[in-house]
Amino acid sequence: MSTTRKVALVTGGASGIGLATCRRLAADGFLLAVGDLDIDGAADAAGPDGFSGQLDVADEASVEDFVCAAAQRLGRIDVLVNNAGITGDQSATVLHNTPVAQWDKVIAVNVRGPFLLSRAVLPIMIDQGSGHVITIASVAGQVAFPGRSAYTTSKGAALQLARSIAVDYASVGIRSNAVCPGMAHTAMTSWRLDDPELRAQIEQRIPLGRVASADDVADLVSVLASDRLHYLTGAALVIDGGYTAL
């Protein structure tokens, strides 16, 4: 199916920032291709006109199959939102205490995932002569989060991947930018933020006095996806309530 509507492919779109992004982009008029391990959640996020399917971002075959099917169904891919990510479980703390299996899992989802998705989507964007890769990184890619070595390392790598894509593909009309949230309240962070004492400690360090909502981050993705900022590429856009300004 070919379409004159722009198409956005969102990974990890069944919950959290991914779901908020899907809702925002749908309201902006995008057709959605939504991949997630949660098949039913992906279908709900994609809506009746979109495309959805089970997607393991760390698995090459899963990525290739999903991107191929999405492009065939919707005709094009204008925006890729590399959103799927994990922090690791509570054993993924300081480096010498982090199990190797947890390290590998975090790197696989947060770094290998954006690599595989971008690698699969870029040829489509090259053929179109346009496209925008938006990677959800983190302020943890710029300042180290204490006790989260694997996550901090992975987000630094994801940020550099976004910059690398910007440098290598600008000449063929493709832009790449990273969105770097601070602490946001999602299912992934609820184990900390649902504890009033821990939440208060975190919010005391944020000048705006609160953690982000998923919608706060989705609003920034929406601005990037809108093509209003044609000259912006290779940027790391921080949305953290002033956390890193301290």
Q: Write down the residue that tokens 């698995």 correspond to.
A: 59
Which helix (H) or strand (E) segment holds residue 219: the answer is helix 214-225
Residue 246: name the closest of 209, 204, 206 by CA: 206
Burial letters 162-174, b for 16+ CB under 10 A, else e: bbebbeebeeeeb
Which residues, in sequence order, are CB contacts of 101 under 8 Å at separation 6+? Answer: none
The end-to-end CA distance of the chain, in Å, is 50
Report the alpha-carbon distance of residue 218 to residue 221 in Å, rounded.
5
Catalytic residue chosen out of the listed positions 151, 169, 231, 243: 151
Whether the Cβ atoms of residue 32 and residue 5 lie closer than 8 Å to each other: no
What are the DSSP calls for 78-113, one per residue? Answer: -EEEE-------TT--SGGGS-HHHHHHHHIIIIIH
What are the DSSP calls for 117-142, one per residue? Answer: HHHHHHHHHHHHT-EEEEEE--GGGT
Residue 231 a catalytic site member: no
Query: Could you give the residue numbers annotated as active site?
Result: 151
